[in-house]
Structure 1
Amino acid sequence: MGHLARCLVWASVLFQSLAQNVNVTLIPAAVGFEADNTAFYYSSLPLLVANDGSAANGGFRAFSARQKTRWDELAHLNTGRSKVVLPVYDIGGRDLLVTIAATDSVMRAFDANSFVEIKEAEKNILGDWSTLCSWRSTSSGNSYLFLFGKKMVVQLLIRSQHKRVQILEVQTFTIPIEGESCATFLDGSVFFSAEDQPLYAFAASESTQAPRIKTVSENIPALGLAVYHGSAGDFLMVAEGATLKVYDHALNQKGAVELFSISNLSIEGGLSILQSSSRKYPYGVFSFAFEDEEDTGIAVGSLENVLAVSRIRPNTKFDPSKKACRKCTQPISKQCSNNGYLQRNSCQCLAGFDGEDCSKVTCQNSCSGHGSCVGPYTCKCAQGWAGPDCSFVAVKAKFETDANGGDGDDPAIWVHPTRPDQSRIVTTTKSEEGAGFAVFDLKGSLLQQVSGEEPNNVDIIFNFTLGAGTTDLTFAACRGDNTLCFMKINSTGLLGPVEGGVQPTPENYEVYGSCTYRSPTSGRQYLFVNNKDAEYLQYELTSTANGTLETSLVREFTGGSGGQVEGCVADEQQGYLFLGEEPEGLWRYDAEPDGSPTGVQIAKVGNGTLYADVEGVTLVPAKDSSDGYIFVSSQGRSAYLLYERAPPHAYVMQFTIVDNKEKGIDHVSNTDGIAAIGNRLNSDFPKGLFVTHDDANELTGGGTAEQASFKLVSLEDILGRERVEKLGY
Structure 2
Amino acid sequence: MTPTVITQTFEEPADADDPAIWVNPRDTERSVVLGTLKEGGLAAFDLNGRTIDVHPAPLPPTPDAKPGRYNNVDVLGNLAFVSDRGRDRIRVFQVDERGARDVTNPDTKPVFSKTEAEVDDQHTVYGLAAGHVNGKDVVVTSRRSETSIALLHVTRNNGYDTKKVSTVDLPDTFTLPNGKSWTVCGEPGEGPQVEGMVIDERTSTLYAAQEDVGIWRIPLRANGFGKPQLVDKVRTFGAPQKYDPETEECEADGPNPGFGGQWLEADAEGLTIAGDVLLASSQGDSRFVAYRKTDLKPLKDFRVEGVEHSDGADIVVGKLNLLVVHDGERENGTGFAFIRHNLSRWGL
TM-score bucket (shorter structure): 0.7 to 0.9
Q: Summarize the alignment of residues 517-556 of structure 1 with structure 2, pairs less than 5 Å apart.
A: 517-519=131-133, 521=134, 523-531=135-143, 532-544=145-157, 548-556=159-167
Q: Which residue of 2 aligns with 1:611?
A: 265
Is the counterpart of residue 693 in structure 1 residue 306 in structure 2?
no
Shift in Å, 1:612: 0.5
Q: Summarize the alignment of residues 391-540 of structure 1 with structure 2, pairs less than 5 Å apart.
A: 395-405=1-11, 406-430=14-38, 432=39, 435-452=40-57, 453-462=68-77, 472-490=78-96, 492-500=97-105, 502-505=108-111, 506-507=113-114, 508=118, 509-519=123-133, 521=134, 523-531=135-143, 532-540=145-153
Is the counterpart of residue 581 in structure 1 residue 229 in structure 2?
no
Give the direction of change, closer, same or farther, for the CA distance of 1:499–1:577 in structure 2 (3 Å limit).
closer
Give the direction of change, closer, same or farther, for the CA distance of 1:461–1:584 in structure 2 (3 Å limit).
same
Q: What is the one-letter code of the residue matched to 1:690?
A: L
Q: Distance in 2 between matches of 1:566 and 1:642?
A: 18
Q: Distance in 1 between matches of 2:98 and 2:170?
A: 33
Contact 1:518–1:525 under 8 Å retained in 2: yes
Larger radius of gyration: 1
Shift in Å, 1:426: 0.4
Structure number with the bigger relative contact order (C-alpha 8 A, sep ≥ 6) is 2
Q: What is the one-letter code of the residue matched to 1:605?
A: V
Please give the secondary structure, in 2, of the residue aligned with 1:720: helix
The CA RMSD over aligned residues, in Å, is: 1.8
Is the counterpart of residue 601 in structure 1 residue 230 in structure 2?
yes
Q: What is the one-letter code of the residue matched to 1:634?
A: S
Q: Distance in 2 between matches of 1:616 and 1:711?
A: 14
Point out where structure 2 has 5 or more consecutive residues left out of the alignment: 58-67, 173-190, 236-260
Please give the secondary structure, in 1, of the residue aligned with 2:303: strand
Q: Which residue of 1 aligns with 2:256?
A: none
Q: Distance in 2 between matches of 1:497 and 1:671?
A: 27
Shift in Å, 1:709: 1.3
Please give the secondary structure, in 2, of the residue aligned with 1:500: coil
Give the direction of change, closer, same or farther, for the CA distance of 1:515–1:493 in structure 2 (3 Å limit).
farther
Q: Distance in 1 between matches of 2:87 and 2:101?
A: 19
Q: Which residue of 2 aligns with 1:670?
A: 309
Q: What is the one-letter code of the residue matched to 1:401?
A: T
Give the direction of change, closer, same or farther, for the CA distance of 1:578–1:525 in structure 2 (3 Å limit).
same
Please give the secondary structure, in 2, of the residue aligned with 1:710: strand
Shift in Å, 1:595: 4.8
**Residues 196-221 of structure 1, C-alpha deviation per residue, up to 9 Å, x if partnerless?**
xxxxxxxxxxxxxxxxxxxxxxxxxx
When normalised by structure 1's length, the TM-score is 0.38
Give the direction of change, closer, same or farther, for the CA distance of 1:617–1:499 in structure 2 (3 Å limit).
closer
Shift in Å, 1:559: 3.0
Q: Distance in 1 between matches of 2:104 and 2:343?
A: 40
Q: What is the one-letter code of the residue matched to 1:672?
A: D
Contact 1:411–1:673 under 8 Å retained in 2: yes
Q: Distance in 2 between matches of 1:670 and 1:411?
A: 14
Is the counterpart of residue 642 in structure 1 residue 247 in structure 2?
no
Give the direction of change, closer, same or farther, for the CA distance of 1:560–1:568 in structure 2 (3 Å limit).
farther
Shift in Å, 1:586: 0.5
Q: Summarize the alignment of residues 612-627 of structure 1 with structure 2, pairs less than 5 Å apart.
A: 612-621=266-275
**Residues 381-400 of structure 1, C-alpha deviation per residue, up to 9 Å, x if partnerless?**
xxxxxxxxxxxxxx111110
Q: Distance in 2 between matches of 1:425 and 1:583?
A: 28
Contact 1:554–1:593 under 8 Å retained in 2: no
Contact 2:147–2:193 under 8 Å retained in 1: yes
Q: Which residue of 1 aligns with 2:175?
A: none
Q: What is the one-letter code of the residue matched to 1:517?
A: G
Q: Summarize the alignment of residues 148-227 of structure 1 with structure 2, pairs less than 5 Å apart.
A: none
Q: Distance in 2 between matches of 1:558 and 1:689?
A: 33
Q: What is the one-letter code of the residue matched to 2:196?
A: G
**Residues 512-546 of structure 1, C-alpha deviation per residue, up to 9 Å, x if partnerless?**
11111211x3x2111111112111111111224xx
Q: Summarize the alignment of residues 183-332 of structure 1 with structure 2, pairs less than 5 Å apart.
A: none
Q: Distance in 2 between matches of 1:481 and 1:596?
A: 25
Shift in Å, 1:597: 4.2
Q: What is the one-letter code of the residue matched to 1:657?
A: V
**Residues 574-604 of structure 1, C-alpha deviation per residue, up to 9 Å, x if partnerless?**
1000000111111100111455542111111
Is the counterpart of residue 712 in structure 1 residue 338 in structure 2?
yes
Give the direction of change, closer, same or farther, for the CA distance of 1:494–1:594 in structure 2 (3 Å limit).
closer
When normalised by structure 2's length, the TM-score is 0.77
Give the direction of change, closer, same or farther, for the CA distance of 1:596–1:527 in structure 2 (3 Å limit).
closer
Contact 1:587–1:603 under 8 Å retained in 2: yes
Contact 1:560–1:581 under 8 Å retained in 2: no
Q: What is the one-letter code of the residue matched to 2:70?
A: P
Shift in Å, 1:556: 0.9
**Residue correspondences, number:** 283
Please give the secondary structure, in 2, of the residue aligned with 1:587: strand
Report percent identity of matched pairs. 27
Q: Distance in 2 between matches of 1:657 and 1:595?
A: 36
Shift in Å, 1:494: 1.1
Q: What is the one-letter code of the residue matched to 1:527?
A: V
Shift in Å, 1:510: 1.5
Q: What is the one-letter code of the residue matched to 1:486?
A: V
Please give the secondary structure, in 2, of the residue aligned with 1:408: coil
Please give the secondary structure, in 2, of the residue aligned with 1:438: strand
**Residues 591-636 of structure 1, C-alpha deviation per residue, up to 9 Å, x if partnerless?**
1145554211111111222111001111112xxxxxx211100111
Q: Distance in 1 between matches of 2:132 and 2:88?
A: 23
Point out where structure 1 has 5 or more consecutive residues left out of the alignment: 1-394, 463-471, 622-627, 659-666, 682-687, 698-703, 725-729
Q: Which residue of 2 aligns with 1:313?
A: none
Give the direction of change, closer, same or farther, for the CA distance of 1:675–1:503 in structure 2 (3 Å limit).
farther
Contact 2:278–2:290 under 8 Å retained in 1: yes
Q: Distance in 2 between matches of 1:694 and 1:518?
A: 29
Q: Distance in 2 between matches of 1:651 and 1:633?
A: 13
Shift in Å, 1:719: 3.7
